Amino acid sequence: MKLSISKNVHLVEPGDFEPTDHWYPRVLNSNIHPLVSYFLNLTHEQMVERYHRLHPQSDPETIKKIMSYQPQYFRWAGTDLMHVTNHEGNRKLTVIETNSCPSGQKSMPLLDLNVEQGGYKRLIEKTFKPMVDAYPEKGSLAVIYDKNPMENIGYAATVADVFGEDVFLAKFDKDDQDPPVKFDEGKMYVRNEVEKWVEIRAAFRYVTQEPWTRIPGNPKTLLLNPIEACLAGGRNKEVASAAYDRFNEEFKDKGISIFTPDTYRKVKYSELDHHFDLLGGSMVIKVPDSNAGQGVYTVVNKNELEHAKSEIDPNDDYLVQQLIHSNYSKGLDPNKSWYHVGTIPDSKGRSFAFDLRLMMHATEEGMRPLAVYSRKSRFPLNKELPEDMNSWEVYGTNLSVKGEDGWSYADERLMLFDVRNFGQLGLGVDELIKGFVQSTMAVYAIDQNAIQTFGQRESISNFTSSIQKS
């Protein structure tokens, strides 16, 4: 990659993509598991038929409609799911949250060894480029980001290759007092090497830390994703939860629903003790607009409740969810409780909680899975937790670590969907299909919420309409 041309800006040229820079080292040397490759190549028709076979009450035409949906705002998403079971052994994939601008490429083995840019190229070619080609604005191309340089440099190099032109890669931090990106009357500009502001016609956005503080709504520069996707639920857990409830109400007669843990919205600080008792002495407290594992507290006793309360603002409202437990032998209500299935026990008999990050994107045929990987917890589900450790060690799976020098990643807990790791998760094609259907429903719900809240997206309405007609 080119050296910086100005503060926090690089110019990336076609041919700059270097695979060793854009994947974790052990991912580069891994081979995708055949079952995962098979899943990623399934057609919508195959997935719909199989899902209906597994859920006979579901309406196949409705599922197909949701899979083939063309989002106005939320065209690139990542859902975090967990594999859970109940006392009857009824296993499900539950949606924990949905993210706009998700990470995942650096953790995904190549689907095709002959395409060295892997999922980076599929996302840019099949989602970003068709949008840009249909958008008649002038200016340069850019990638703007505030973390995860490994993936964002990769995206910039891929955009440069796919479009055959130089791309500005600009770091757009929340606390930067002199950022290299600005918006003027809705148009984005990036500062170049001679301190000149360059007009941007379209930008790939990976700005995740309170992006609404510096990115306007309804901009004249095309963004993937626009800020409305974040505000409608892609970066706000409370708004997303309300969107899921509306979806479930709308489609209850079609035999489908978004499955989440029991959720309580707008819980005041003073009501947290009541909800702790209401949920049987355990819960999860979430700051609604937090991400990357920040602002999430698992609570299994009074001490953890008091600790969580000492960390959060007494003047704010919170999202409270039912905790997915480590096992089924704790005397909890068997009709309401869900438990982690966990990893296959290792040679020491340890089973760990894990999640699935499923990244997907809007293509000409509708939503398609793009990348998938898992993250496991630090401490096993089936061992007694030492007194000096908190329950987050058992239930927390996020890899992001925020330090004084920025973000790092505990990638030793990364579980690749490769030949070596995938079998440890105990998942099959059916679980991946269930997870994808849950994910597409979540994206549909959030995008519909965005349309209801902000109206039709002017820059893409004609584009999505032309796809649906064809």
Domain count, the chain: 2
Query: Does the residue 319 lie in any domain?
Result: no
For residue 40, pLDDT over 80 is answered with yes
Same domain, 93 and 187: no
Confidence at residue 468, expressed as pLDDT on a 0 to 100 scale: 65
Nearest to 202 by CA among 126, 161, 144, 118: 144
Preceding omega of 8 cis (within 30 degrees of 0): no
pLDDT in tens, 158-216: 999 999 999 999 999 999 999 999 999 999 999 998 999 999 999 999 999 899 999 99
Query: Does the residue 302 lie in any domain?
Result: no
How far does the chain reach from its first CA to its final CA, in angstroms? 39
Q: Are 378 and 413 in contact (CB under 8 A)?
A: yes
Same domain, 214 and 243: no
Confidence at residue 1, expressed as pLDDT on a 0 to 100 scale: 52
Same domain, 330 and 440: yes
Query: Does the residue 463 lie in any domain?
Result: no
pLDDT in tens, 424-463: 999 999 999 999 999 999 999 999 999 999 998 777 777 7
Same domain, 67 and 115: no
Query: Does the residue 291 lie in any domain?
Result: no
Mean pLDDT computed over 83-112: 94
Nearest to 79 by CA among 432, 401, 406, 377: 432
Same domain, 19 and 51: no
Cα→Cα distances 152→36, 205, 385, Å: 25, 9, 38
Its domain, for residue 421, covers: 31-101+233-261+324-453
Same domain, 70 and 132: no
Pick the residue with more confidence: 289 or 267? 267
Q: Residue 413: which residues within 8 A CB-CB, separation 6 or more?
A: 375, 376, 377, 378, 397, 399
Confidence of residue 293 (pLDDT cuts 50, 70, 90): low
Confidence of residue 328 (pLDDT cuts 50, 70, 90): confident
Rounded CA gap, 313 and 289, in Å?
13
For residue 42, pLDDT over 60 is answered with yes
Q: Are 377 and 397 in contact (CB under 8 A)?
A: yes
For residue 400, pLDDT over 70 is answered with no
Mean pLDDT computed over 346-373: 97
CATH of the domain at 113: 3.40.50
Same domain, 184 and 162: yes
Query: Does the residue 465 lie in any domain?
Result: no
List phi, psi (to 5°) of 468. -65, -35
DSSP, collapsed to helix, strand or coil, labels residue 182 as strand
Same domain, 175 and 200: yes
Cα→Cα distances 468→70, 141, 333, 368, 436, Å: 7, 27, 46, 16, 21
Cα→Cα distances 135→221, 232, 401, 462, 465, Å: 9, 23, 38, 10, 14
Q: Are 150 and 22 in contact (CB under 8 A)?
A: yes
Rounded CA gap, 215 and 237, in Å?
19
Pick the residue with more confidence: 336 or 427? 427
Same domain, 156 and 244: no
Same domain, 179 and 242: no
Same domain, 251 and 145: no
Question: Do the bridges between strand 197-206 and strand 140-145 make them parallel or antiparallel, or are there none, so unpaired?
Answer: parallel
Mean pLDDT computed over 249-265: 97
Pick the residue with more confidence: 458 or 321? 321
Rounded CA gap, 236 and 168, in Å?
29
